[in-house]
Structure 1
Amino acid sequence: MESVVRMMARNPKALGTKELRLRLEAIDAKVEQVLDSEREREDLVRKAGEITKEIVRALTSADLEGTWVQIKQRLDEIVPPTEGRIDK
């Protein structure tokens, strides 16, 4: 932006010049670069969310219910629920 202001201050007739057109194209390119980067980040965050939900679904599936019952029983043997366990 500053360079455009300087350019126009030096040459008020620079409106239709190739130099100004190149600067405007550079701004467009930068905007697209930032937008692409944002879209990539959004896509990654969405994918991470989906993967997290898939993991939670897998961990909480009916197929694992018996395993979780066994884990709880073992934990209860090792550390009684009243002693500050996070699952109480």
Structure 2
Amino acid sequence: MFAYGNVKQIENTLKKLIIVFDGKPYSFIKNFSLSKDSKIISGIKHRFYSEDDVLKLFIILNKEIKKHKSIKQIFLQGYNISDENVKTEYQIFQNTL
């Protein structure tokens, strides 16, 4: 979501997020609450994604981290060491979210 556009634009968005995360993205997302955190997300958007899209991303990630304990666990659901690439794992990850 934040990894496209010109480098300066990506850096600016990521700097804003790092401040919001207080250097602890996992903790922030795991403990994310729309009622308490929506104000600090205010104004964060990236290219075609609005502030509301960013909030929805954090809501989804929060739900899935609570369910699976980590984003890595979601990705590993489809992991097979014999796969030539991570296409299958990525598709499962994408479908889970």
TM-score of the alignment, normalized to the shorter chain, above 0.5 = no
Compare the two structures and name the one with the higher helix fraction: 1
The higher relative CO (CA closer than 8 Å, separation ≥ 6) is in 2
The structure number with the bigger radius of gyration is: 1
TM-score normalised to structure 2 length: 0.21
TM-score normalised to structure 1 length: 0.23
